[in-house]
Structure 1
Amino acid sequence: DEENREPVELPTVRALRDGRAVETGEHRLLIARDGTERSITGNASPLENARGEVAGVVLDFRDITAQRDAEQSLEKAVSYARDIISTLREPFLVLGSELRVNTANRAFYRTFEVSPEDTEDTPLFDLGDGQWDIPELRKLLEEVVERNELIEDYEVDHTFPNLGRRIMLLNARPFPPESSTPDSILLAIQDVTPQRESALRERADELAEIDRRKNQFLATLAHELRNPLAPIRSGLEVIRLSGSGGEVVRRTSEMMERQVGQMSRLVDDLLDISRINRGEIELRKERIDLASSLRHAVEAVRSYCEEVDLTLTVTFPSQPVHVNADPVRLEQVVGNLLTNACKFTEKGGHVSLAVEADEGFAVIRVRDTGIGIAPDQLPRIFDLFMRADARLDRQEKGLGIGLALVKHLVEKHGGTVGVRSAGVGEGAEFIVRLPVSSAPDRSSRTPSSSGSSSTEPTPAASGRILVIDDNRDAARSLALLLGFAGYETHTAFDGSTAIAMVPRIRPDAILLDIGMPDMDGYEVCRRIRQEAGGEKIVVIAVSGWGHDEARDEADAAGFDGHLVKPVEFSDLTKLLSGILPPGV
């Protein structure tokens, strides 16, 4: 016996004894005297004489050694292949005819939480109540069968009912590979979900770092742009206060002041867009009269309209219309809309602002007779960096952020903003709707002074002020301007010199830049506060850094106020008169 190596009865003996034909049976070995083994099969048939007695046996042997060797080699190969498949770390399937599962490995059962009983001899697309009926997988296997070609790293993104979303790489090949009509498909499945999720997290971290660097760049850019604007604005204010130079100088100064203001607004808008992306814009709401709050925005564009020959019409209601809003941000909204209307209206055109109450809403309409907006651009006009290009021969103006900022601020107030235009050359109308505040909010803050005009009279001034800035032009021009207002001024261009000057000149107030090379303004303020009498000095940050973190750090360092360059002189003098002790 081939299996147990035990001797077995010869078929001739049984044929003689039993008088009938006997087969040798399977897996029999014929062992010669020299030990040579041959696999055999055959039978023995009894021979009867004339009297019907068994007189002999016919023995028929067939040597099947080569066949048995081939069968055993195949069995070993199959066993070897099964062992390999079972030890693979990734799920693996062998599919037979009609794409039925011939076998699967342990990784497949473990990964997809199925059993061999539920898997083997089952059509692949019927597994798990059809959860493997994936269109991409059908397409893949059809190509393998039809083209008799292997498929490598075919990515499938599929959500399984019990496992959730999985991203898999599929590799399939026909088997046997050399056959023109293969009867099986080998399918390897690699679950790359963790790797993809890790890559997505890494990409998200990279984007967050890029965004952080972008915001840092914008803050630094704003700081660097504001620094040269500060002495320009101070110098223009000195020219205005000196009253010298005649009409040409006056008109030129007004033009330069408008451009400085426009540059400052562009810098502020850039930073506001960055804050919006980080979700950092906070509103300081109070109950305000809409018309009163918007007068400063109107005055800011009126001189520009006169300069470029535009007619500006303003219509406010006879009765106050109150809203619960941040007056600074609301002025920014209307200022952006008016500025936008002026930029895109030709010389001799008309721009109008109207405020009215309509069924529980305050409605602000800004209309112009300018270049209009093409119909296909209307749905995208409030998108970030969107700029209307109504005419190819007109140079585009602006950064494409003003209207996006308007939309965000209005919606943050609980309102809506829309636009209408009949098309190119037909002008445009922007409509803002805000909820009306019907009753005073007793918990609100006192009315903001942000809407006051720079033309209001400056309070009488006195006192000793030290201006500290490493930008010498900025320090000297601001000191000169404060001198015109009646203050005694001194300047220092670095932190160490300033700290040494304080005990000698005993200033009542210090205007201190933040970004200085030898010692930043925060450290200068802290050291001044440590000096004898330093706690009594009014210290105001005057810096190109305008983000919230800079203000918070200024508060922590001991500053009494924070102003962003270029400073409106009226804002500075009001701040000084409000916080300097009486009689100074």
Structure 2
Amino acid sequence: MRMAVTDPSVHYRDIVNSMMSAMLVLDGELVVQFANLAYYQLFGGTESETLGHSIFNVHSEIWNQPALRPLLESVIPHDVDVRGFKLEQTFPVIGARVLNVSARRVTRAGAPTDQMLVKIEDVTNAEMAARAADESVEKTHAMMTEVHHRVKNNIASILSMLRIESRQLEDEAGRDVLQRIALRVESMGSLYELLAIHDNTGIVRLRPYFERVCHSIEQMATSEHTGWSIEVRGDDLPVSIDDAIALGAVVNELVANAAKYAFNGRQDIGSIRVLMQDRADEIHITVTDNGNGFDKDHVDPKSTGLGMRLVDMYLASLEGTIERESGHMGTSCFIRVPNRTRANDLASSGTLSAAPKEIRKPAIVRGGDRSANGASHPHKRHSEAGAAAPAAE
């Protein structure tokens, strides 16, 4: 591309001489016709040592670079623009520097030949600042990875002690409590394991996390139950660490509850499914089983109800809701929570208005309970012979 200066009153030398960046004007033979004050201030030398000399003989350590010289030689004959060529080295006069070199062909009205304008920017400070920032980020990532590894190892130690205590207990109720606590701890451990493996961006993908949570439940329940499976499918949604902790705890309680109670007395093959769906400003999670179903009037007397209280507590922290339906075809739990990760992304990008709408804390709705407005949620009772699965811990 040519840059034309048609006004003869424009004294380009004065303009170039006033620039803060180092500038050179070369002729077609790449002989220096002009160097501005910034050039001499940066590289030293005098006019007599610079003007009238080939650029490759003036500060040759700069211009005789194997990658740069062919580019400069192509600017005038082939109308090539050189933009932001980075030159990093230790120079005799100015020491270690990072320079950005740009060059383009210049056509002046009335001039017999084209010329070349060369611009040299000293970007050392900016480059060093960027590298320092990158190093700081890398150190932070390394530190967070170490923290996650240590937390994961501590969780593994706690799990080991819980399992030892559980195996030594003869009381079935006490053993069950320890196993449920172990599952809750292992759910947290799965999260930190993912954080230790992947980059520490503060974002967790739900699908691999839920798969690990459910795998832990399968492993723990294998000794007591056979003939059922757990499947995790749906959208792989990114959420914050805090939201992942809460959602992982909710899914852990619901799946562990189904694994313990849904298939009692059943000989056929059962299944538990966890489905995740991206609904723009909401995340929908459905936990279903094809087990016995439950009746709220038949609750396991050994159940403490702690699991469902934890579910309610975590969903309240997420401003989410849960609806439960149960019958002879099984039980379904429908969870809806705001997609706060997406909302935060939109807010940071300026897509959302500065004044957010007031968020109403939604009610937690259980099958058979009264909702916030007094309406009764439909609850399907077990209608076939056989014991219904209790509304569990």
TM-score band by shorter chain is 0.3 to 0.5
Structure with higher RCO (Cα < 8 A, 6+ apart): 2
The normalised TM-score by structure 2 is 0.38
The normalised TM-score by structure 1 is 0.27
Flag the structure with larger Rg: 1
